[in-house]
Amino acid sequence: MDNMIITNSAARSQQPMPAARQASALDARQTLALTEWRRLSADDIAPLRTDFRPERIKAALPVSAFLGVEHDGGRISFRQRIEGKMVQIAFGESGGESFNEGFAPEHLSESLPEFNDAVRYGRVTLTNVSAHTAGGAPFNFTRLLLPFRDKHNRVTRVLAVYGFDTDRLTNLRSPLRMKRFAAATGMKRAERAYLRLKTA
For residue range 161-181, list pLDDT tens digits in order: 999 999 999 988 888 876 544
Does 148 map to a domain? Answer: yes
Does 200 map to a domain? Answer: no
Q: Which of 57, 26, 37 is nearest to 126 (CA)?
A: 26
For residue range 32-91, list pLDDT tens digits in order: 999 999 999 988 789 999 999 999 999 999 999 998 888 877 777 777 778 899 988 888
What is the span of the domain harbouring residue 80? 3-194
Domain count for the chain: 1
Indicate yes or no: pTM above 0.85.
no
Higher pLDDT, 165 or 8: 165
Does 114 map to a domain? Answer: yes
CA distance 165 to 53: 25
